[in-house]
Structure formats: C-alpha cells, structure tokens
C-alpha cells in the first residue's frame, strides 16, 4: 500500500539554488515547488508507509544545509466501500 504526505519547509533563501534540485530530483518526492508565504517549499512525498516517509524526511530532507523547519501533513486515504 502506498501512502503520501504534504511537506512544507522554511528554508534559508540563500540556499535555494542547492536545496531545490536536491529535493526535486529525489525519487520519493513527486512534487516540489517554491512558494512565498509562511513556507518556502511545498512537496508531496510518497512511500510504502508513513514510517518510510518519516525516514525520508529525517535522512534526506532534514540534514540538507539551509532547511530551517519542517511541517508534515499525512494524507489519509479513505476507501469507499
């Protein structure tokens, strides 16, 4: 079963040129865009489980130079019976 989450980042804007490509070309990040407002980057992250998504955020996103804070909104799929 696949699961996904929206992830928003506050970043050091001076690091955008190195952050954005590192995020955009990651195979688990299916959508990544720069925005203005409370958050600077919005992403859609997919994985086989919530645990895998959490691991991706901990190991691939959080360590990147310039990431200041991360907000995650899990997507809950409701199957219609």
What are 26-57's pLDDT values in tens digits? 999 999 999 999 999 999 999 999 999 999 99
**CATH code that applies to domain 3-75:** 3.30.70.920
Burial category of 61 from C-beta neighbours within 10 Å (exposed 0-12, middle 13-18, buried 19 and up): buried
Reported pTM: 0.89
* Residue 52 backbone dihedrals phi, psi, to 5 degrees: -65, -40
Considering the chain, what percentage of its residues have pLDDT values greater than 90?
90
Domain range annotation of the chain: 3-75
Cα–Cα distance for residue pair 76/68, rounded to 1 Å: 26
16 φ/ψ sector (left φ>0, alpha ψ -120 to 50, else beta): alpha
* Secondary structure class of 42 (helix, strand, coil): strand
């Amino acid at each position: 079963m696949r699961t996904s989450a929206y992830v928003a980042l506050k970043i050091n804007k001076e690091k955008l040129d190195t952050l954005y490509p590192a995020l955009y070309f990651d195979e688990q990040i299916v959508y990544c865009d720069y925005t203005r407002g409370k958050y600077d980057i919005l992403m859609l992250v997919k994985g086989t489980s919530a645990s895998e998504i959490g691991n991706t955020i901990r190991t691939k996103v959080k360590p990147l130079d310039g990431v200041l804070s991360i907000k995650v909104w899990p997507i809950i799929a409701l199957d219609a019976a």
